[in-house]
Every structure is written in structure tokens, then in C-alpha cells.
Structure 1
Amino acid sequence: MTKKASTKATAKATPKTQSKATPKSSVKKEAVAKKTEKVKEVLEDKLSQSADETVLDRLYTVVQSRKGTDPSLSHSARLLSRGTYKIAQKFGEEAVECLIEAVAGRKDLLVGESADVLYHLIVLWVDAGVTPEEVWAELRRREGTSGIAEKASRPKEILSKKG
């Protein structure tokens, strides 16, 4: 009988021990898995964000490097060789195409036209000697300010009419 009692005690102890250990280890494993997943998401977001934030800076560097090079080898060089008027005209055309796609509700085409606008804006910056850092600094200066308040704070310029 002693054997049976001891077997019963062991049999009873084993499920209790397992039932207590299993949930705790499962909870710990789930917590670790959740933390690991969260860390992965944060890292992926940071990597993606870093790439996105510097893409315009990299594009600026490429366009800047094309200045004064052979216009037959580079679209940027060709635009830059044609002068400010033609660069501005091309930027305006791309901006209008962007607006048309927005009004038409064609999101996929709007994305492409938006990329064209940004590219041509950067060509305009290179031509004018404006750097991305100057534009980013101006955006940081305006950050947190109401658009209405920011616009009201700008100096009023009087445009003279020519002949």
C-alpha cells in the first residue's frame, strides 16, 4: 500500500508541478517573443526611416555631381546646361502634371509625378545654389507654428509693375 500511496502522491505532484511550470514558462516565452518582435519592428522602422530621410539628400548630391558634365550623358546635366528659365519651366510642367493626377484621384500616377516634382525641384535648388540643409533648417524653424501664423509673420513685399 505504501507503494500505491507514494505513486499517487507522485502522480498528483507531477501534474501540479507541470501545471505551475508550464504557464510560467509559456508566459515568459510569449513575453520574450513579443519583446523580440517589438524590437524587430522598431529596428525595421528606424532602418526604413533613415533611408527615407536621406534619399533627397542623396539625390541632391547626384544632381550636384552632374553640374558641368556632358549634357548628352545625363538628364540632370542637360537640364542644368539649359539654364534657370528652362529648369523652372520643367519644374512647373511637372507640378501641373502632379496636380492633374491628384484631382483625377489617380494615386499611383500621383506618386510618380510627385517623384518627378521633387527631382526637378532639386535640379532647381542646384541651379540656384540652395542646399537641402537650408530647406530642412527652414522647415525645422516653422515646425510647431500654425501655417496661418507663419504666413502672417512673413514680411509683406510690394511687387512693382514693369512698364
Structure 2
Amino acid sequence: MAESGSESKFKNTPNPDGVLALRRLMDTLQQRAADRPPKSYTTKLLDGGIEKIGAKIREEAEELIEAAAEGEAAGREHFVYEAADLLYHTMVMLAWRGVDIDEIANELQRREGTSGLVEKASRAKKESTE
């Protein structure tokens, strides 16, 4: 995100429909997790559990990294496509674990305005006391 007083480097303005699309996708994934329709790619992933979903997340993360290396002009569309794939597969994992996207949004909101270094240090302290 852009620092205060500087111009945003993002080409798209905030899109409330995009947030709604994530909500609709989460609802669909949760429904697939409950119903397990037999001819659904999502069902196939869910039935494969952590191994199958995890493998897809790893694969999509690698593809996203490769797309990022393509450069701005040639690779932007490919990068967005791969980022969407990674997000979809991550959300499948959320549905598999019974975690809603709102829980992730709440955690991000909790971290908002906190330095990443401070947040990481607080996690390290918490983990060492457990």
C-alpha cells in the first residue's frame, strides 16, 4: 500500500464487488464441503485432504512466483491469474479446516497499523511461553 501522502501504485480502485466475490466463493466452498457434490473439482480437493490441497497450494505458489518474475508488461495478467488460483486453493483449505474467510479478515484487521516486525516478535514470545 502507498505511504501517506504518496500516490497509490495500484491500478485498480477498491472494488466492493471484489470483496463480495470472495464472500460468495467462501460460501460456495463451505457448501461444497458440506454437500460434496460428486462432479466438483472442489469436492475432489476436499476429499484429498491436507495432502491434495497442500500440494495444490504449493504448486500454485510456485506458479505465482514464476509469474511475478515475468515482469510488469508481459506478466501482469498472468500474475493476477495465478494469484487468483492461489487464493482459491487457500480458501479451499480454509473450508476444509472449517475456517471462514471472515476469521482471516479479522486477523488482518487486528494486525492493521502494527509493524510486521513487532507482530512477529509478539508471536515468538507467545510461542515460547506455550
For this structure pair, what is the TM-score category when the shorter chain's length is used for normalisation? 0.7 to 0.9
Please provide the CA RMSD for this pair. Answer: 1.7
List alignment gaps of at least 5 residues for structure 1.
1-44, 159-163
CA distance in 2: counterparts of 1:51 and 1:104, whole angstroms: 28
Tell me which residue corresponds to 2:4.
none
List alignment gaps of at least 5 residues for structure 2.
1-12
Q: 1:60 aligns with which of 1, 26, 42?
A: 26
Tell me which residue corresponds to 1:50.
16
Aligned length: 111
Match of 1:104, SS state, is coil
CA distance in 1: counterparts of 2:68 and 2:16, whole angstroms: 27
Deviation for aligned residue 1:108: 1.2
User: Would you say 1:70 and 2:44 are equivalent positions?
Assistant: no
> Where do 1:6-155 residues align within 5 Å?
49-67=15-33, 68-71=35-38, 73-105=39-71, 106-155=75-124
Deviation for aligned residue 1:82: 1.1
Deviation for aligned residue 1:70: 3.0
Q: Deviations over 1:26-79 (max 9, x none)?
A: xxxxxxxxxxxxxxxxxxx7xx732122211110111111124233x1111111
Q: Deviations over 1:94-139 (max 9, x none)?
A: 0110011101221111010001001000000001111111111100
CA distance in 1: counterparts of 2:81 and 2:15, whole angstroms: 20
Greater helix proportion: 1
Structure 1 stretches of 4+ moved >6 Å? none
Query: So what's the TM-score if we normalise by structure 1?
Result: 0.63
Partner amino acid for 1:70? P
Larger radius of gyration: 1
Higher relative contact order (CA 8 A, sep 6+): 2
